[in-house]
């Protein structure tokens, strides 16, 4: 049902849980290691993120490679 302003009401937007579950699937984790690696990043991944968040390092890593760029700015 439409409201006088022409917009849809909140009740008309809701969908049933079963319908929502058909297109929104949760990723299943099969082992405790997957839980661990989801929350704790490796040192190499932390280094990559540090370089990606600093634009000069990110740009240089595309040109000369990650390890050389990281060592130049943070090494």
For residues 63 and 55, what is the distance between their CA atoms, to the nearest angstrom?
A: 13
Domain that holds residue 57: 41-65
pLDDT band at 42; cut points 50, 70, 90? confident
Q: Is residue 32 part of a domain?
A: no
Q: Which residue(s) pair with 31 in the sheet?
A: none
CA distances from 11 to 1, 3, 42, 58 (A): 8, 11, 45, 46
Q: Residue 8: its pLDDT value, please?
A: 65
pLDDT digits (tens, 9 = 90+) for 24-36: 666 666 777 777 7
pLDDT at 19 over 60: yes
Q: Is residue 2 part of a domain?
A: no
Q: Is residue 54 part of a domain?
A: yes
pLDDT band at 62; cut points 50, 70, 90? very high
pLDDT band at 47; cut points 50, 70, 90? very high
CA distances from 45 to 5, 40, 50, 54, 58 (A): 50, 10, 9, 14, 14
Q: Residue 49: its pLDDT value, please?
A: 92
């Amino acid at each position: 049902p439409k409201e006088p302003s022409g917009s849809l009401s909140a009740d008309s937007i809701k969908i049933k849980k079963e319908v929502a579950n058909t297109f929104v699937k949760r990723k299943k984790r099969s082992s405790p290691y997957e839980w661990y690696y989801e929350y704790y990043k490796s040192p190499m991944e932390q280094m990559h993120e540090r370089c990606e968040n600093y634009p000069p390092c990110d740009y240089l890593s595309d040109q000369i490679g990650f390890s050389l760029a990281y060592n130049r700015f943070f090494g």
